[in-house]
Amino acid sequence: MRKIMTAVVVAAALFPVQTGHAETTATATTTATAIPVAPYVDMGAWPTPVLSTMAKQGNVKSFTLGFVTSNGCKASWFAAYDPHTGWQRDEIDKLRAAGGDVKISFGGASGIELAYYCMTPAALAAEYDAVVKAYALKYVDFDIEGSAVADPATIARRSQALKILQDKNPGLKISLTLPVLPTGLTADGVNVVQQAKNAGVNLDLVNIMAMDYYQGPADQGAKAIAAAKATQAQMKTVLGISDDAAAWKKIGVTPMLGVNDSRNEIFLQKDARALVSFASSVHLGMLSTWEQGRDANACNGALYRCTNVAQSPYEFSKIFAGFNG
């Protein structure tokens, strides 16, 4: 997300944390079903978010966990924990036992994505695959923004690696999370999707970051809906989908709750309700938010931990939980 992750790295976190799941070899299968609501959780927040508690209190089952970045050509949770060892797998298993699941997101606004350090598609795919295996994932997300959305070398390498990854894990659902304007994806964003398609990747979703347009105050619910409509039209062309309903299933929308980084763009509860209503009317592929910890804190203060709007804890989460696909 454009909101920068805020990992607090303590000395103990610099060493791998063994969880007993490192030997997991299960692959994704075609049994993966759609997840209608999967708020992002900043796993770099301190103290580390307790996923099972967040799920119960926020009335949601599933989350998108951000972000896995790089430690050279090795996957890392924000240079603090080792995903190869299944860090936080116990909490993920609790979600699954309760009928939910997780997507793990690579990239984000902070840190450097693996595609910059792994210099071949095979090496890059191997790191992605190690994370998939460690967590028995059915869903992965790639948050591509900033300079990464316009970097030809990493886009090409990542696209080829995703094809390898999907071939190794039949049925693995892959989403691309990209910056957007109310008029749709930028040309760079469209190119990221096009390159993945050209590489043979079967994309589950194109998830738009409906936030931080830097266009001044306005109805943020209406802008998110406009961005979704524009992106759906773009994806019909890029992905070669003629059916509107099928194209809507390829779209995810992720607003930033409350005050955005732009400061004068504010996503309110009324905007959440409007977006959920629209998403239900078109049977959107997914709704998410940035970010569950901010919603839980329900506070005023630094944007990495507060929405800075009047709300009760998990109020936005409970609104979004009303979306069933």
Question: Is 27 part of any domain?
Answer: no
Question: Is 4 part of any domain?
Answer: no
d(CA 186, CA 229): 14
Please give the pLDDT value at position 31. 67
Written as six digits, the tokens of 312 are 């009760």
pTM to 2 decimal places: 0.93
Written as six digits, the tokens of 74 are 């090795």
d(CA 79, CA 224): 33
- Among residues 91, 113, 127, 145, the one annotated as catalytic is 145
> With 90 as the cut, is the pLDDT of residue 115 above it?
yes
Q: Report the half-sphere exposure of 61 (CA within 13 A, side-chain side).
A: 13
| Cα 31 to the center of its chain, rounded Å | 21
Q: Supply the CATH number for residue 72's domain.
A: 3.20.20.80
Question: Is 89 part of any domain?
Answer: yes
Q: At what angle do helices 121-135 and 152-168 cross, to 10 degrees?
A: 50
Question: Is 314 part of any domain?
Answer: yes
Question: Is 10 part of any domain?
Answer: no
Question: Is 237 part of any domain?
Answer: yes
Question: Is 20 part of any domain?
Answer: no
Question: Is 247 part of any domain?
Answer: yes
Q: What is the pLDDT of residues 4-62, one digit of tens each?
A: 444 443 333 333 333 344 334 444 444 689 999 999 999 999 999 999 999 999 999 99
- Name residue, tokens 């944007």: 303
- Map 130-168 to HEC letters: HHHHHHCCCEEEEECCHHHHHCHHHHHHHHHHHHHHHHH
Which secondary-structure segment (H or E) carries 129? helix 121-135
Known catalytic residue at 145: yes
Please give the pLDDT value at position 40. 98
The beta strands (E) that lie in 182-221 are given as 184-185, 203-210
Q: Give the structural domain span for 216.
A: 35-320
Q: What is the pLDDT of residues 134-193, one digit of tens each?
A: 999 999 999 999 999 999 999 999 999 999 999 999 999 999 999 999 999 999 999 999
Helix extents (H) in 61-120: 89-97
Report the domain count for the chain.
Answer: 1
